[in-house]
């Protein structure tokens, strides 16, 4: 029997029992609770996503290995660690650059948020003389505009106001807003739900945006309209 060569050993002081139980508790209980809640509500995946499952799981493994950890095959461990850091980033970059050309896939992380935010902010500023403070309409599109806008407007979820309790319908009428929605035509007709919520909205000519990697995808065409600020807000001092 061949004896193993000397390998690096990481040693630490013995853990207090409370600290050990604390780590095990937070490594196991959140995963159990999130899975149980998913079963109770009929959800296919754990409630809260993967976060409750993996929180402190790595630390729990280290605690379970004891006070001394031998590091075997350091070269392999080093390459594996570098691969875990680099490969996901390279894969994401490759997907952004290649998929729009070979598969016509519209990646959400490649949306032209900056261009959208600047255009709608500038349009609102020119029409009203005030910085854009609220974006509403289609939730996903409104979030992109708010993310890319230099004035950092709030998003008003008109279809589910409880998700944006810091904004009311009165705020929209008083401060004004930009209403946005994805569209495939050049007329920019608002969807039925937006026409119901904003009956007085006059749609503008849709704006087409080009992605950073356009590929074989059509241009990102956005319908929009402006709700002008109320008279009281227009007269308010800056």
pLDDT score recorded for residue 104: 66
Confidence (pLDDT) at 235: 41
50 and 101 in a single domain? The answer is: no
Q: In terms of domains, do 147 and 215 share one?
A: yes
pLDDT tens-digit readout, 42-93 = 777 777 776 667 777 888 888 888 888 777 777 887 888 889 889 988 888 8
Is the overall model pTM greater than 0.95, yes or no?
A: no
DSSP state of 151: T
139 in the same domain as 100: no
Based on the fold, state whether residues 87 and 66 are members of the same structural domain. Answer: no
Identify whether residues 14 and 117 lie together within a single domain: no
Kindly tell me if the per-residue pLDDT of 225 is higher than 60: yes
Residue 22 pLDDT class (50, 70, 90 cuts):
confident
Q: Maximum CA pair distance of the chain? A: 90
Q: What pLDDT score does 216 carry?
A: 76
Count of C-beta atoms within a 10 Å radius of residue 104: 11
Residue percentage of the chain with pLDDT more than 70: 92
Query: If we measure between CA atoms, which residue out of 28, 119, 12, 143 comes closest to residue 68?
Result: 12
pLDDT at 52: 65
- 34, 47 contact by CB (below 8 A): yes
- Domain co-membership, 65 together with 93: no
What is the full DSSP assignment across 41-85? HT-SS-TTTTHHHHTTHHHHHHHHT-SEEE---HHHHHHHHHHHH
42: left (phi over 0), alpha (psi -120 to 50) or beta: left
Tell me, yes or no, whether 120 and 181 share the same domain: yes
Total domains present in the chain: 3
Give how far Cα 65 sits from Cα of 28, 57, 145, Å. 16, 13, 49
Instruction: Supply the pLDDT for residue 234.
Output: 47
Instruction: Return the higher-pLDDT residue of 117 and 15.
Output: 117
CA atoms within 13 A on the CB side of 231: 0
- Mean pLDDT is lowest, of 5-19, 43-57, 115-129, for 43-57
Higher pLDDT, 235 or 140: 140
The reported pLDDT for the residue numbered 228 is 92
User: What average pLDDT does the chain have?
Assistant: 83
Pair (161, 223) in one structural domain: yes
Domain boundary among 72, 91, 125: 72
Structural domain that includes position 177: 111-234
Residue 216 shares a structural domain with residue 144 = yes
In the chain, % of residues over pLDDT 90: 32
Specify whether 142 is located in the same domain as 193: yes
Beta bridge partners of 134: 154
Are residue 219 and residue 209 in the same domain, yes or no?
yes
Q: Are 101 and 133 members of one domain?
A: no
């Amino acid at each position: 029997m061949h004896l193993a060569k000397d390998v690096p050993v990481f040693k630490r002081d013995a853990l207090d029992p409370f600290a050990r139980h604390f780590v095990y508790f937070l490594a196991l209980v959140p995963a159990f609770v999130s899975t149980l809640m998913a079963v109770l509500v009929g959800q296919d995946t754990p409630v809260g996503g993967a976060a409750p499952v993996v929180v402190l799981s790595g630390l729990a493994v280290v605690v379970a290995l004891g006070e001394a950890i031998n590091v075997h095959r350091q070269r392999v461990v080093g390459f594996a660690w570098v691969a875990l850091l680099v490969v996901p980033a390279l894969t994401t970059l490759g997907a952004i650059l290649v998929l729009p050309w070979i598969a016509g896939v519209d990646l959400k992380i490649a949306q032209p948020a900056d261009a959208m935010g600047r255009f709608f902010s500038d349009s609102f500023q020119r029409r009203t003389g005030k910085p854009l403070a609220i974006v509403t309409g289609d939730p996903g599109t409104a979030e992109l505009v708010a993310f890319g806008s230099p004035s950092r407007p709030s998003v008003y979820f008109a279809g589910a106001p409880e998700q944006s309790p810091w904004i009311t319908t009165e705020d929209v009428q008083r401060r004004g807003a930009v209403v946005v929605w994805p569209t495939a035509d050049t007329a920019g007709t608002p969807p039925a739900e937006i026409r119901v919520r904003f009956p007085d909205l006059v749609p503008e000519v849709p704006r087409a945006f080009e992605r950073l990697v356009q590929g074989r995808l059509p241009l990102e065409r956005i319908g929009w309209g402006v709700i002008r600020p109320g008279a009281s807000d227009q007269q308010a001092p800056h």
